[in-house]
Amino acid sequence: MTESLTVNLGERSYSISIGSDLRGVIQAQVADLVKAGRKIAVLTDRTIAARQAEALLAMFGAAPMLVVAAGEETKSVAELGRVLEFLAAQGLDRTGVLVTVGGGVIGDLGGFAAASYLRGIEFIQVPTTLLAMVDSSVGGKTGINLTAGKNLAGAFHQPRGVFIDTQFLATLAPREFAAGAAEIIKYGLLGDAALLAQLERAPLTATSANLPAVIRRCCELKARIVEADERELAADGGRALLNLGHTFGHAIEQVAGYGTYLHGEAVAIGLGAAARLAQKLGSLSAADVARVDAVVAAHALPIRLRAPLALPALLAVMARDKKVRAGLPRFVVLQKLGVAVTRSEGITPAQVEACFREVGAVDSL
């Protein structure tokens, strides 16, 4: 059974299809595009190409396919150029469509390439990881990392459609599944206390009967936020709320070296740091912080750094975060578990430093 929901953005609206074994649905979509005279190209990574060779053939037949290395390092200027040259070599014109099949890295990289090639062609997201299904494939944020920081180059470019096939999760490594759970916990913390309580009662696994419903709920939450603030321009709240834990997490990812922590693992530690910041600001109790740590740990995610990182390096990266406004980092602060706000004023450097220390950072190595 396939369910769908719509991201309502006027002429940029699109559907998110959720189900088990959507190969036939995707194949039909591709066939319709080809019949209309539109060229198709596919971007995926080596892991998907090896594990899902049969599915890729069923969905895309002989469509040209670029296979890149898996991992955060692929979100680079060099790989962006490689994708653009691939699209040009295949002769895609402005009616061409790029299909991204993979996790958040592939979706971000391919989406940015689609936004840039010929000043913008359509693309379709086929997420294959839990993290991409519940978060990165929806909303149109695309981009790559620079030496200076994560996701510092990119574009808002909404997909033509998103096809979430939960069968892909059957071959997902447990560590990757856990990384996706971090984003689900984030949604519970920032806007759905009932979802958070559900995760506390019964941590998600790849075989959880309620997994498709949880994926849909996260997509619904994100769709409504994106509809209200597509380009993250709201003075308060809005799409910036989706960055809960990410201001800390992005710094951890970069300073540790991309690949040391999966994105979701760094976000998990960041959620703990964000909870501690809320406690220092007086909106969460010590018991609330303990609840955050407990639900994170119950999903096989880290609550502290595996090895110490230097505090000055973390703070330097945080200062270059793309969410900085007027020189001040913009934090997502929990008012209570299930409700979050954005805030930049009234947060001291000492409070931020203390939060980093409490998750394992040190003053110097």
Residue 54's H or E segment, with its range, is helix 53-60
d(CA 165, CA 335): 35
Out of 23, 39, 75, 141, the active site residue is 141
353 is catalytic: no
Q: Are 228 and 206 in contact (CB under 8 A)?
A: no
Out of 186, 217, 239, 299, the active site residue is 239
DSSP 8-state symbol, 137: T
Out of 217, 263, 276, 291, the active site residue is 263
Show the tokens assigned to 38.
């539109």
Out of 250, 276, 291, 330, the active site residue is 250
Out of 75, 150, 157, 246, the active site residue is 246
141 is catalytic: yes
Out of 122, 150, 243, 299, the active site residue is 243
299 is catalytic: no
Residue 361's H or E segment, with its range, is none
231 is catalytic: no
200 is catalytic: no
Out of 54, 119, 201, 345, the active site residue is 119
243 is catalytic: yes
119 is catalytic: yes
183 is catalytic: yes
Q: How far is CA 44 from CA 11, 56, 101, in A?
A: 28, 10, 5
Out of 72, 176, 183, 230, the active site residue is 183
Q: How far is CA 150 from CA 246, 257, 281, in A?
A: 10, 11, 27
d(CA 223, CA 230): 9
250 is catalytic: yes
Out of 72, 79, 232, 253, the active site residue is 232
Q: Are 317 and 254 in contact (CB under 8 A)?
A: yes
Out of 217, 222, 291, 323, the active site residue is 222
Which residue type does 79 have? E
Active site residues: 119, 141, 183, 222, 232, 239, 243, 246, 250, 263
